[in-house]
């Protein structure tokens, strides 16, 4: 009985995936015909079915870009890069989309370690770093087994050094995985969707305006109180913004 249930589930999942693929292909055809609004509707249908991918978000970004919708275009390019950080096509299109944004914010100078984090460590997601951790765990254990059962002194030394080096890399990748996951959980990035919005010094409508942001600007969400979000921009300025005016990437 369990076997038949498994087969039914497998067949159902296969047909479901095929239907989603047809929906995605239909959206691509609409995009090629320059019917961008309908293409977006179908792409969003695919997203609602939880079949997300870098290609889906990339195509959504392109469709919004064609309609000069800066905020959504940047949002979906950023979503695509979260899945595939090294995708050069997405990176290039993101640069063009950011040129349409009105806000020009000068980023704070990065420290040496911040540069390493942004240029190298963030090239992989925390899930990919976790995979590296598992790989080094397996290699370290395998080399140690070889070391234990080998009697030749030179080969034994090689396997011992390889095992220790693998375990050393294991602890490094584990620390990086924890750091990336912690940062991802603690600090949420978001894109401003409002055409123009004021950032306040407190989470109330009658508080003082600090500065103004426009559609497409990337912010860091630090805290949430009721309908307000405390945000930080690249130059270090902080303030409160109505939550519906931004859309979180995570």
pLDDT digit string (tens) for 41-99? Answer: 999 999 998 888 999 999 999 999 999 999 999 999 999 998 888 899 999 999 999 99
Structure tokens at 94: 């993101």
Structure tokens at 116: 């390493």
Residue 221 near residue 190, CB atoms below 8 Å:
yes
Please identify which residue in the block is written with the tokens 């140690």: 144
d(CA 245, CA 190) in angstroms, rounded, equals 10
Pick the CATH number of 2-98 from 1.25.40.10, 3.30.1490.20, 1.20.140.10, 3.10.520.10: 1.25.40.10
pLDDT of residue 123: 79
Please identify which residue in the block is written with the tokens 């130059």: 235
- Has residue 36 got a pLDDT over 90? yes
Higher pLDDT, 110 or 133: 133
- Has residue 216 got a pLDDT over 50? yes
Q: What is the largest CA-CA distance in the chain?
A: 79
pLDDT of residue 34: 95
The model's pLDDT over 152-172, given as tens digits with 9 standing for 90+, comes to 989 999 999 999 999 999 999
Q: Is residue 222 left, alpha or beta, with left meaning phi > 0 and alpha meaning psi from -120 to 50? A: alpha
Mean pLDDT of 181-199: 88
d(CA 162, CA 139) in angstroms, rounded, equals 8
Instruction: Quote the strand ranges of the chain, DSSP E.
Output: 188-192, 196-200, 209-214, 218-225, 228-232, 238-242, 246-248
pLDDT of residue 17: 60
Give the pLDDT band of residue 11 (cuts 50, 70, 90): very low
Phi, psi of 222 (to 5 degrees): -100, -30
**Mean pLDDT over all residues of the chain?**
88
Question: What is the spatial order of strands in the sheet that 188-192 belongs to?
Answer: 209-214, 196-200, 238-242, 228-232, 218-225, 188-192, 246-248
Find all residues with CB under 8 Å of 137, minimum gap 6, and list them: 166, 170
Give the pLDDT band of residue 7 (cuts 50, 70, 90): very low
Q: Name the CATH superfamily, with its identifier, for domain 188-248.
A: SH3 Domains (2.30.30.40)
Q: CB count, 10 Å around CB of 112?
A: 7
Phi, psi of 41 (to 5 degrees): -60, -45
Phi, psi of 42 (to 5 degrees): -70, -40
Question: Could you tell me the pTM of the whole model?
Answer: 0.78
The model's pLDDT over 200-213, given as tens digits with 9 standing for 90+, comes to 999 998 999 999 99
């Amino acid at each position: 009985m369990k076997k038949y249930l498994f087969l039914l589930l497998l067949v159902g999942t296969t047909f479901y995936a095929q239907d989603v693929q047809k929906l995605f292909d239909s959206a691509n055809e609409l995009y090629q015909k320059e019917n961008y609004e309908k293409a977006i509707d179908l792409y969003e249908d695919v997203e609602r079915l939880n079949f997300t991918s870098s290609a889906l978000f990339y195509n959504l970004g392109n469709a919004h870009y064609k309609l000069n919708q800066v905020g959504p275009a940047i949002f979906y390019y950023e979503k695509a890069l979260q899945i595939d950080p090294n995708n050069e096509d997405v990176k290039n299109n993101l640069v063009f989309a950011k040129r349409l944004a009105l806000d020009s914010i000068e980023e704070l100078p990065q420290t040496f370690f911040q540069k390493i984090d942004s240029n190298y460590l963030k090239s992989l997601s925390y899930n990919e770093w976790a995979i590296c951790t598992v790989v080094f765990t397996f290699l370290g254990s395998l080399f140690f087994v070889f070391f234990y059962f080998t009697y030749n002194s030179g080969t034994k030394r090689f396997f011992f050094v390889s095992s220790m080096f693998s375990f050393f890399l294991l602890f490094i990748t584990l620390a990086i995985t924890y750091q990336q996951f912690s940062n991802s959980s603690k600090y949420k990035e978001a894109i401003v969707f409002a055409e123009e919005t004021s950032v306040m010094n407190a989470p109330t409508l009658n508080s003082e305006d600090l500065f103004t942001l426009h559609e497409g600007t990337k912010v860091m969400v630090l805290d949430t109180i009721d309908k307000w979000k405390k945000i930080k921009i690249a130059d270090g300025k902080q303030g409160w913004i109505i939550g519906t005016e931004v859309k979180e990437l995570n």
